[in-house]
Amino acid sequence: MTGPAEYTLSENGCDLPLGVGHDGMYGIIMPDGRLFADRLFENSYGLYKNTLAYSEGGQWGLITGDGVIIVPPSYDEIAWHRNGRFIAKRGDRRFLMDHLGALIPIEEHEDYSATYQDLMPPRKAYLSCPDGTRRSSKDGRWGIVDEEGAIVLTPKFRAVSCLHNGKAWAPDEDNRRWCQYDSAGQITTVCRPEFYFYRPTHHDPKKLAEDPFENSVIWNRRFLDYGEGRVDDPPELIGDGVQGFGALPAAPIVREEMEPDWFK
């Protein structure tokens, strides 16, 4: 094996691991200039905490940056999932595997959905907000609390969005519309007939009520109820039949902390 300078480098920042290729094999140059595990691989995927999923002879395993094989290549596939876990496949079985090789059947994980036969985002992600606050309910009404649980927006709504620029969307039931409320719980000037927390292109929220306003309240409330564990599945989105097909479970944008352990 020749030095890293003779490999083809991917376009990336110099402060991040760089993908390299040589004679149909692939590897990773670390920010300090060393070649991960001092070798190249048939294929690799999901560098996390100094652990890499790699393939050899068409089978997948885990290896560390020091070249220690944590899991010998013995799985049909090992792919990065999230929250410190890989998904490993062997035949028709699927497992969650951590970076040390410990695994559990995917069906036993708390976020597994029997309806969709797959892992859902963590329930807490359905309640989390980008500013570190979260939605929380009391006596069937929703509000917002901070990281210590102190009230930011009094729980008085059937559903509520996260705060953005100091305002949150919530239903004004007296006038059957969604309005923006300030942190004091007062309506601002912006209102609309319906509002959804999550609405990707080419999909529409599943119809749960005839009235559009009520449908949006019920749909968003189910989104939040799923986060607090009161229902088995989140609300669904139905494809438009043009570029979106079938039913999909609604999912939040999952926020994960960057863990630069690979730099060590």
Q: Give the pLDDT of the chain (264 residues) as one tens digit per residue.
A: 333 334 344 444 457 888 889 899 999 999 989 999 999 999 998 898 899 999 999 999 999 999 999 999 999 999 988 778 899 999 999 999 999 999 999 998 888 888 888 888 889 999 999 899 999 999 999 999 999 999 999 999 999 999 999 999 999 999 999 999 998 889 987 899 999 998 888 899 999 999 999 999 999 999 999 999 999 999 999 998 888 788 889 988 654 433 333 332
Q: What is the pTM of this model?
A: 0.70
Domain membership of residue 263 (yes or no) is: no
Domain membership of residue 196 (yes or no) is: yes
Domain membership of residue 254 (yes or no) is: no
Domain membership of residue 162 (yes or no) is: yes
Q: Which of 98, 122, 146 is the last residue of a domain?
A: 122
Alpha carbon 13 to chain centroid, angstroms: 24
Domain membership of residue 256 (yes or no) is: no
* Range(s) of the domain holding residue 69: 4-122
Domain membership of residue 255 (yes or no) is: no
DSSP per position, the chain: ---GGGSEEPS--TTS-EEEEETTEEEEE-TTSPBGGGS-BSEEEEEETTEEEEEETTEEEEEETTS-EEEEEEESEEEEEETTEEEEEETTEEEEEETTS-EEEGGGSTTEETTTTEEPPPGGGGTB-TTS-EEEEETTEEEEE-TTS-EEEEEEES-----BTTEEEEEETTTTEEEEEETTS-EEEEEES---S---TTEEEPP-SSSHHHHHHHHHHHHHHHHTTSSSS--EEEE-SSS--SEEE--PPPP----GGGG-
169 with 84, same domain? no
169 with 225, same domain? yes
Give the pLDDT score at 46.
Answer: 86
94 with 202, same domain? no
114 with 132, same domain? no
151 with 163, same domain? yes
103 with 157, same domain? no
Domain membership of residue 257 (yes or no) is: no
54 with 151, same domain? no
147 with 222, same domain? yes
76 with 103, same domain? yes
**Tally of domains in the chain:** 2
227 with 139, same domain? yes
Q: Which of 88, 122, 156 is the last residue of a domain?
A: 122
Report the alpha-carbon distance of residue 120 to residue 251 in Å, rounded.
8
Report the alpha-carbon distance of residue 85 to residue 119 in Å, rounded.
12
Give the pLDDT score at 14.
Answer: 59
Report the alpha-carbon distance of residue 198 to residue 89 in Å, rounded.
31
98 with 134, same domain? no
Q: Which of 74, 94, 122 is the last residue of a domain?
A: 122
Give the pLDDT score at 208.
Answer: 95
181 with 231, same domain? yes
Domain membership of residue 200 (yes or no) is: yes
Give the pLDDT score at 263.
Answer: 31
The token duo for 140 is 């069937």
